[in-house]
Structure 1
């Protein structure tokens, strides 16, 4: 049992925790709990067990993470990197994204297994000094989106329920949903559980996540004011249903939250550099939404790379803090 925990359970939980860029098994467990209760509240319990499995975000996350872990073992990857969950979170993201964006079927589960394993291949042969972050996930999910029609995959549709549309209510919900969107989900309860999962690892890191989501949302407001006719009218909340829905989902904040989570855990990274990264990521996310592009975590990855590269060029030499805490 101890061997199973050490070589399978703990690396898998840390891999799920690394979806929020946190190296902590307890965080990963809480994220799975959040996904499990999300499954319970969004699917009919009277459905057959196989149907519930096919629709389960929790199952898809675990399958993606375990597939990535198995491939890492096959490739004889450094044991410490596996133990830290670095060969798990991109696979977990493939599982979450596939189950979030596509109507479930048996083929989708196969794609999650293959995609999860493929992320470890990309990680294994990554040679750039800067962390790949979620680039392996982005590469795989982009190929799945590109081949979706050929594979017979159907994109999901959905509606957003908003009970209140006052400026304060929408802003606060949007900010917390920006944290929940780290797992491509929304909902105040869900997002608060995700935030608490980060708090378990570090209160400071959790505060940065909130700041990142809030600053990202603020950046979107500023851009909507200066962007002229081409911008989204975020100030006229009661008159622009599209803007309300986009903002309420947390889509303006989650890339900022991810940048804050990543950069705040790098020693030697200054606060201005972190906020610059948040601002850049939020701007890219805003432009992507304006152009109706599905960028997912690309603004985060690109912005983090830019900031880290500039800081390294200036000989600040930041180092990611990767000590195991879970």
Structure 2
């Protein structure tokens, strides 16, 4: 039972929720959209968690699911971009394991967030495509939208945090947040709407906005940077704008963005906050 709780916490930590019931709701949301992605999330989380146990990493971090969430994302991503074949399953296993090693290394230097997932998945995707000639799966193109659908874009923004292009799944993710952290859920809703709006202002297509692609990085930024001070909302708003710009910019280069805009933006904001604190100390 304790191991199952750790695995569920690992899934919950994708959105920084150290709560096994939130993790369970995330899984239910994923399975609602795709049983295959649900199995991939479980497999990735188990592999990365067990790897951390075998490598004798921090027991407290393992208990809190901190070695599970990058594996969960890696597992889903592999089956989002590739058909389930022997080769892609091997990549899922290797990627989930390596994400744990990268996580343990990065956490000694910077707040790793989902950086291990991004780095490992980039290497896997481009290796499979350009070295092993695996065909890259692409999601069927959405019908061209000519209007901004606020409810749809917000719901899918939550879902896209874990590659789920499904508004119902997204709203289940929101419920999972509400159960554990109401303030985080409030910030996340603000980010989903604001990220989509800024995407529109920055001339992103309505199809990408309504599919949640302008909101999911913003949601992660808002949860990661959330706090009870009034100034936290200013930092979150800045992060939403910056992450949306990074998402659009990286997308234009042809790079598969994953959660890189969130990671880069949050590192920048944390650096700016630390610089501000240093200036205050010097001034005092």
Q: Fold match, TM over 0.5?
A: yes
Instruction: Report if the CA contact (8 A) 2:195-2:218 is conserved.
Output: yes
Instruction: Say if 2:183 is the partner of 1:217.
Output: no
Correspondence for 2:44 among 55, 64, 70: 64
State the SS of the aligned residue for 2:67: coil
| Residue of structure 2 in register with 1:137 after alignment | 117
CA RMSD in angstroms comes to: 2.1
Structure 2 residue corresponding to 1:121, chosen from 101, 107, 124: 101
Of the three residues 34, 39, 54, the one matched with 2:29 is 34
Query: Contact 1:115 / 1:140 at 8 angstroms: preserved in 2?
Result: yes
Instruction: Please say if residues 15 and 86 of structure 1, whose CA atoms lie closer than 8 Å, have aligned partners that are also in contact.
Output: yes
Aligned to 1:77: 57
Q: Which of these residues, 244, 249, 252, is aligned with residue 290 of structure 1?
A: 252
Q: Deviations over 1:255-311 (max 9, x none)?
A: 111101111159897221121111111111122233433111111000000111111
Partner of 2:15: 20
Residue 101 of structure 1 deviates from its aligned partner by 1.3
Q: Distance between the aligned counterparts of 2:60 and 2:228, measured in 1?
A: 19
CA displacement at 1:245 relative to structure 2: 2.1
Structure 2 residue runs of 5 or longer lacking an equivalent are 279-284
Q: What is residue 189 of structure 1 aligned with on the other side?
A: 168
Between the aligned partners of 2:221 and 2:228, the Cα distance in structure 1 is: 11
TM-score normalised by length of structure 2: 0.90
Aligned residues: 277
Asked if 1:158 corresponds to 2:150, the answer is no
Q: Which has the higher contact order (CA 8 A, sep 6+)?
A: 1
Shift of 1:220: 1.5
The answer on whether the counterparts of 1:174 and 1:248 sit within 8 Å (CA) in structure 2 is yes
1:271 to 226, 233, 240: 233
Segments of 5+ residues of structure 1 without an aligned counterpart are 41-55, 225-231, 233-242, 317-326
Q: Tell which structure's C-alpha radius of gyration is larger.
A: 1
- Single out whichever of 79-88 and 30-39 deviates more from structure 2: 30-39
Match in the other structure for 2:282: none
Between 128-137 and 286-295, the greater mean CA deviation after superposition: 286-295
Q: Is the 8 A contact 1:130 1:308 kept in 2?
A: no
The alpha-carbon deviation at position 187 of structure 1 amounts to: 1.6
1:129 is displaced (CA, Å) by 4.8
Distance of aligned partners of 1:32 and 1:213 in 2 relative to their CA distance in 1, 3 Å threshold: same
- The correspondence for 2:158, drawn from 150, 174, 179, is 179
CA apart distance, 1:246:
1.6
